Structure 1
């Protein structure tokens, strides 16, 4: 089964650096990095806002917990918002992402 992880980053460069490291470590196969978004949030009893860069990371469900833990360790925020979930995928995507859990390094998007 496949899995997705959503995470906002402070900027695209940070998302690229961390996403590249997770790819190199075999924990994800792809990171889609979006355009800047405005985030409104409550933190430490205060209301805040920030420009952030959203990213969607693709992995195999067998690696989901490990990918989330590593992302949390690498992320520059004190308490990054990281959300992951198993999901259904088409046959080609299942095959591609499933190769991660077996040590495969399939290329694709």
Structure 2
């Protein structure tokens, strides 16, 4: 005879208690990005400073100034960055197909949120003429709080 209030579960399906246990175990991992973002914003508001790795500088080499300007403008239009410096005539020496190559390239210094680096990198791979574009980022450990706030404001979606 069944106990009052007991329910049978379908074979092959976990018991509700197992599902609740799994939810309790995975909840912190599912909410981590949101909690981290909120804690960084709270820290910034309270201390008036930035937390390491909230912002990044991304370096991208381009073959000429026309392509560099095109990439810079499109990533700004897409709000993937707040600011881009175009540094002309960087001399580059590198290995390509086992040989040392030398070229004059244009260097982009892109200021962005660390959370946008992955999207930025993917976009650059789509529009860049190089087979393997050089795209790497470094976290900004410290910076002027007023400038960093401006970066944040400039990258807000409309």
Short-chain TM bin? 0.7 to 0.9
Would the aligned equivalents of 2:83 and 2:151 in 1 still touch at CA under 8 Å?
no
Give the TM-score normalised by structure 2.
Answer: 0.61
Alpha-carbon distance in structure 2 between the residues aligned to 1:98 and 1:52: 29
Determine the structure 1 residue equivalent to 2:17.
Answer: none
Alpha-carbon distance in structure 2 between the residues aligned to 1:91 and 1:60: 14
Which of the numbers 77, 80, 95 marks the counterpart of 2:130?
77
Q: Does residue 7 of the first structure (1) align with residue 70 of the second (2)?
A: no
The aligned runs of 1:67-106 (5 Å cut-off) are: 67-87=120-140, 88-99=142-153, 100=155, 102-103=156-157
The aligned runs of 1:9-28 (5 Å cut-off) are: 9-28=62-81
Q: Relative contact order: is structure 1 or structure 2 higher (C-alpha 8 Å, sep ≥ 6)?
A: 1
* Larger-Rg structure: 2
Determine the structure 2 residue equivalent to 1:66.
Answer: 119
Question: 4+ runs of 1 displaced by more than 6 Å?
Answer: none
Question: Counting strand residues as a fraction of each chain, which structure ranks higher?
Answer: 1
- TM-superposition CA deviations, 1:54-102 (whole Å, max 9, x none): 11011111211111111122111000111112213211122122232x4
Determine the structure 2 residue equivalent to 1:38.
Answer: 91
- Gapped regions of structure 2 (runs ≥ 5): 1-53
Would the aligned equivalents of 1:29 and 1:58 in 2 still touch at CA under 8 Å?
yes
How many residues are matched? 103
Give the TM-score normalised by structure 1.
Answer: 0.86
**What root-mean-square deviation, in Å, do the aligned CA atoms of Structure 1 and Structure 2 show?**
1.3
Would the aligned equivalents of 1:6 and 1:55 in 2 still touch at CA under 8 Å?
yes
Alpha-carbon distance in structure 2 between the residues aligned to 1:16 and 1:47: 27
Question: Counting helix residues as a fraction of each chain, which structure ranks higher?
Answer: 2
